[in-house]
Amino acid sequence: MPGAVFREGPLSGLDEATLRPLLERAAAKSYPKSTVIVSEGDRSEGLYVILSGKVRIYLANENGREVTLGVEGPGDYFGEMTLDGGARSASVMTLEPSRFLVVPRAAVEPFIAAHPEFALHLVRKLIRRVRILTESVRSLALQDVYGRFTRLLHELAIEEDGKLVIAEKLTQQEMANRIGASREMVGIILKDLVKGGYLTVTGKRIAIDKKLPLEW
């Protein structure tokens, strides 16, 4: 069993020996890039542990408009919302070739009952997710598109050679999905910030050259 799953992401805080009886019940599965492995409303059961790759968790309406709820990578897991017996609350798509351990719900429930430390870990993970979703709702309700866009840039920015850069390579559509806006609006804002000398865009790489204005 790949040890990296215990060293990265949320599972890193748990003892490997504790988790092994659960993960040994899992089936390994691999999916290529851009595969929808979970669809909102599905009644499929199971907890997905990401061994490698990256996934996007999102909502979509009947017109095809999407809002990204989060991006998760190795060591993260999703699917815990089905433990109440309900349908999937969101869709999940691979952003790159990915491998998973899929634990059946029938194995998860007794494991939680027998291991209170994992139950507490799961509760804390759900609390973190609720906090993130609450902040997203606040942003959508109280900030305009420009405010949400600059907030996204600051969340993704890391320091590199004394400059803030967006290391994650995102298309304009992917950025639009994350902030609940249109690709056209994101393109206009980007163009204006580049023209004003605030950003430099090279391919999909974005560098923040100076403090972004509070208003657009």
The residue among 117, 122, 110 whose CA lies nearest residue 49 is 122
Across the range 181-194, mean pLDDT stands at 92
Domain boundary, last residue among 141, 162, 179: 141
Last residue within a domain, chosen from 106, 141, 176? 141
- pLDDT for the residue numbered 160: 86
Which CATH number do you get for residue 149? 1.10.10.10
pLDDT tens string 130-164: 887 787 777 777 678 999 899 889 988 998 888 89
pLDDT over 50 (residue 1): no
The reply to whether 100 and 171 lie within a common domain is no
| Local confidence band at 14 (pLDDT 50, 70, 90 cut-offs) | low
Nearest 5°: the CA angle 70, 73, 79 is 65
81 falls within a domain: yes
Count of beta carbons in the 10 Å neighbourhood of residue 90:
19
- Return the bridge partners of 135, or none: none
Structure tokens at 20: 């092994």
Question: Same structural domain for residues 94 and 12?
Answer: yes
Answer yes or no: do 47 and 103 share one domain: yes
Domain extent, residue 69, equals: 4-141
DSSP code string of 162-198: TEEEE-S---HHHHHHHHT--HHHHHHHHHHHHHTTS
Distances (CA, A) of 79 to 54, 89, 102, 108, 179: 15, 9, 9, 11, 23
| Structural domains counted in the chain | 2
Question: Sheet containing 205-208: which strands, arranged edge to edge?
Answer: 157-160, 163-166, 205-208, 199-202
| Inter-residue contact 114 to 121 (CB < 8 Å) | no
Q: Name the token pair of 154.
A: 């600051």
Out of 110, 141, 172, a domain closes at 141
115 and 196 share one domain: no
> At 71, phi and psi to the nearest 5?
-125, 130
Q: What is the mean pLDDT of residues 82-108?
A: 87
- Where is average pLDDT lowest: 8-17, 74-83, 139-148, 202-211? 8-17
Q: Does residue 49 sit in the same domain as residue 89?
A: yes
Phi, psi of 2 (to 5 degrees): -60, 120
pLDDT of residue 37: 92
Q: Which helix (H) or strand (E) holds 107?
A: helix 105-114
Asked if 94 and 118 sit in the same domain, the reply is yes
Taking residues 92-99, what's their average pLDDT?
Answer: 94
Please check whether residue 127 lies inside any domain of the structure. yes
pLDDT beyond 80 at 184: yes
Mean pLDDT of the chain: 84
Task: Identify the residue whose tokens are 């290391």.
Answer: 167
